[in-house]
Structure 1
Amino acid sequence: MGRLFPGLHRLTVRHIRLLVPGNIRHSSGGNVYNARLVAALQALGAGVEVIAVEGAWPDAGAHDRRRLGALLGAWDQETHPGLPVAIVDGLVAVGAPDELEFAAKAGRQTWVLVHMPVPEDAGGRALLREGRALRAAAGVICTSTSAANELRKRGLPQARVVLPGVVPAAQACGSTPPHLALVAALLPNKDQLLAVEALAQIQDVPWTASLVGSDRADQAYAQEIRGAVLAHGLQERVRLTGELTGETLENEWAKTDLSLLLSRAEAFGMVVTESLAHGIPVVVREETGAVEALGMAGLTAADGGPRLPGAVLRLPAGGQESPGLLAGVLRRWLGDAALRESWRAAALEARTRLPDWSSTAREVLALLGARD
């Protein structure tokens, strides 16, 4: 390992302990990032232990916070050789600033992995807890540039960016009529309701669509989406599949021609690069981290500007005009063969230029080694 990754030979014999929230059981970008990172670290020879920390994070009770502190070695004042380097998922860390501060005082090396910063509207107490937790850490790893920039604005300059990798995937064949997919848990932030309202305005042209994601994360919102599908008479064209994994998810990607990620707030949007890995263009919302994901391959147009494998739309959250704006873009895409081919060609080129998870793992190891 020392020869494979110079300067990090000590990490091959030391232990990395990844602490993740046990209360997030539906598929999410954070969960996927954590799992892929672990697999890539192990492939590079690092020893990684993953512990799901139970508790209602980030608002866990005192018992769960104390158990986290024990896992961090916060209460152990003796220094032992070979202590693990801890990486704590940000959702857990921001709920336990006391424990991270005690761990720092005990000389433990604890890093925080931030998938999405605490929202500004969460209130001063939540932002204060986040600041304390991250300042107590040996280092902060952000999974997107937007997350790091937000933390820097809050006075946390030590935030470092390690973007997610991509798993190579089979090229999608598409469908006739064109098939659209929205792959995300059914949550208000993901704004699948906007997509349903937009699709209701283009029923005069042929298409089908799937909403692929957990309907248990917010059952009331999932029911609202089902009601909108029925109210617009879209039940024969819009399918709610629930959460899909493995071969069933791959089958869904295989028949998809266009994917949409309409999140109102998104630190990165790994589903965007997952879509591009299948050669499928994506429509994302402006002023979200999904824009970074869409441009990750760094494609360049003839004029020297960015060439996007899809489109970035300005869709104001709650704006009455948003369904119409989205419907107009989808109508143009469905009716313009040249536009569809242009987006698809860009997605197919991006597919060959996406980074792998080994690169992500090497960057994480480099950060840990720099402070080892």
Structure 2
Amino acid sequence: MPSPPPAIRLLVPGNIRHNSGGNVYNAALVQGLEHLGAEVTIQPVAGYWPVGSKEERRRLAGLLTTGTTAGNATVTIVDGLVASGAPDAMEAAAAGGHAPWVLLHMPLDEHPDLEVRALRAAAGVICTSGSAAAEITRRHGLAGIRAALPGTERGQVAAGSEPPRLLAVAALLPNKDQLILLGALALLQDLEWTAALVGSDTADTDYARQVAAAVEQHGLGGRVQLPGELTGEALEQQWHAADLSLLISKVEAFGMAVTESVARGLPVIVRAGTGAVEALGLGAEPVPGAPEGAEPALPGAVVELEDSDEGNPEPLAILLRSWLTDPVLRAEWRRRALAGRDLLPGWDATARQVLGYVAPEASPGGHSSQPLADGE
């Protein structure tokens, strides 16, 4: 019989206030752990993370040794955005017998030297995607990196629109590359469609202004909406009106917008070479009669795009043109996305995995295969 779950403290970056994938994951994980009986506290850490200032890192070191005991009566998990740039704080905590776990959403590309020291000082590292875990293993040669993929809550099946409506749910940030998407849409003005780019316009105000300017420069003002960050019913209305979702980030550890799309029966276009491909694969069907190792049928498609600031939008425009003009292709992608809804794991699976890593004696064990709640 499992032991009672421990108290868990999750330290998260206080400077990330928009509706990021990391924030959504953290909140859903806490709820899942609480459903398993754990007492969980979320503790925002003030600072300009990653790295932060010397004083902010000093305060972090204090937090890591406050409210814990060397006997691990409380398990501390630190968001990787906070931990990876603060190796001194992590090492000091480990030296005092308080080594925390790290929940890593995205490798810290700008400071690999800091990251490797911080992760070596951790009690363990949990990545939120298999691609991130593989990259950390490759980059630093660290063994025993775990992965706990995001879960998904099944949403109401999208009704779509006429003409077809394209949806990109991501903060307006250079990495999310809305500019190349607008460049592709500018090449499709002979076809009927509308689009919405839903995401925070305050996370990077300079880039958000560039996106708004590009809409006008391309003459797309009557067809492309920039409603800003939406939540609740306003966001659900955007999902419900959509026919196709896009996540074409230059770098993506996973891409929860992908599984959130498939959970509503929406096919997705993702960028090759990113963790969004892994996310799309969770909703992929095995092909009946296909040889072992054959590619599954994705609920959407993967597109090759340049990573430069002046990337070529034509490959994306060509793929979108095919989808917009071929009703058979459109119907097949939709069929795959509807089938993929039943393949996505729930957040209960994520919580069980994380609890199994940080407190195996308290974990109920196993990976959830229960169907997602309809939410309809």
CA distance in 1, matches of 2:104, 2:72: 25
Tell me if 1:338 matches 2:323: no
Which of 224, 237, 245 pairs up with 2:223? 237
1:135 maps to 120
**C-alpha distance after superposition, 1:63-91 (max 9, x if no partner):** 222222222117x9x95666310000001
Instruction: Please point out which of 130, 146, 156 is paired with 1:145.
Output: 130
For these two proteins, the number of residue pairs brought into alignment is 357
Distance (Å, rounded) in 1 between the aligned partners of 2:235 and 2:272: 27
Q: In structure 1, what residue type is equivalent to 2:80?
A: G
The whole-number CA distance in structure 2 between the counterparts of 1:322 and 1:72 is: 46
State the one-letter code of the partner of 1:37: L
Paired amino acid for 2:13:
P
- 2:371 counterpart residue number: none
Structure 1 residue 158, shift from structure 2 partner: 2.2
The question of whether the paired residues in 1 share the 8 Å contact of 2:284 and 2:299 is answered with no
The one-letter code of the counterpart of 2:127 is C
Structure 1: stretches of 5+ with no match in the other structure: 1-5
Asked whether the equivalents of residues 94 and 100 of structure 2 are also in contact (C-alpha less than 8 Å), the reply is: yes
For structure 2, list consecutive stretches of 5 or more residues without a partner in the other structure. 363-376
Q: Does 1:313 align with 2:303?
A: yes
C-alpha distance in 2, partners of 1:44/1:80?
A: 24
Question: Please, which of 90, 93, 101 is the counterpart of residue 111 of structure 1?
Answer: 101
1:178-212 per-residue CA deviation (whole Å, 9 max, x = no partner) reads: 00001000011100001111101111110000000
Equivalent residue, structure 1, for 2:365: none
1:355 is aligned, of 328, 345, 359, to: 345
Q: Distance in 2 between matches of 1:81 and 1:134?
A: 21
The alpha-carbon distance between structure 1 residues 319 and 117, as it changes in their structure 2 partners (threshold 3 A), is closer
Equivalent position to 1:163, from 135, 149, 160: 149
Match runs of 1:62-73 below 5 Å: 62-73=54-65
Distance 1:55 1:366 in 2: 30
Structure 1's 284 and 96: CA in aligned 2 closer, same or farther, altered over 3 A? same
The equivalences for 1:153-302 within 5 A come to 153=138, 154-302=140-288
- Give the TM-score, by structure 2 length: 0.91
Matches within 5 A, 1:75-90: 79=69, 83-90=73-80
Counterpart CA distance in 1 for 2:70 and 2:167 is 51
1:147·1:267 contact (CA, 8 Å) conserved in 2? yes
SS in 1 for 2:269: strand
Matching residue within 63, 81, 89 for 1:99: 89
Cα deviation, 1:115-158, whole Å, max 9, x if unaligned, reads 00011xx2xxx211101110000100000111111111121122
Q: C-alpha offsets along residues 144-174 of structure 1, whole Å, 9 cap, x if unaligned?
A: 1111111111211221011010012111000
Range with greater deviation from structure 2 (135-144 or 225-234): 225-234
Does 1:16 find its partner at 2:8?
yes
Give the whole-Å Cα distance in 1 for the aligned partners of 2:311 and 2:14.
Answer: 39
Which residue number corresponds to residue 53 of structure 1?
Answer: 45
Where does residue 3 of structure 1 map in the other structure?
none
Query: How many Å separate the matches in 2 of 1:150 and 1:102?
Result: 26
Rounded Cα–Cα distance in structure 2 between residues aligned with 1:95 and 1:318: 26
Inter-CA distance 100–321: structure 2 relative to 1 (3 Å threshold): closer
| Identity rate, percent | 54
The alpha carbon displacement at 1:109 in A equals: 4.1
Tell me the CA shift for residue 110 of structure 1: 0.8
Match of 2:313 among 305, 311, 323: 323
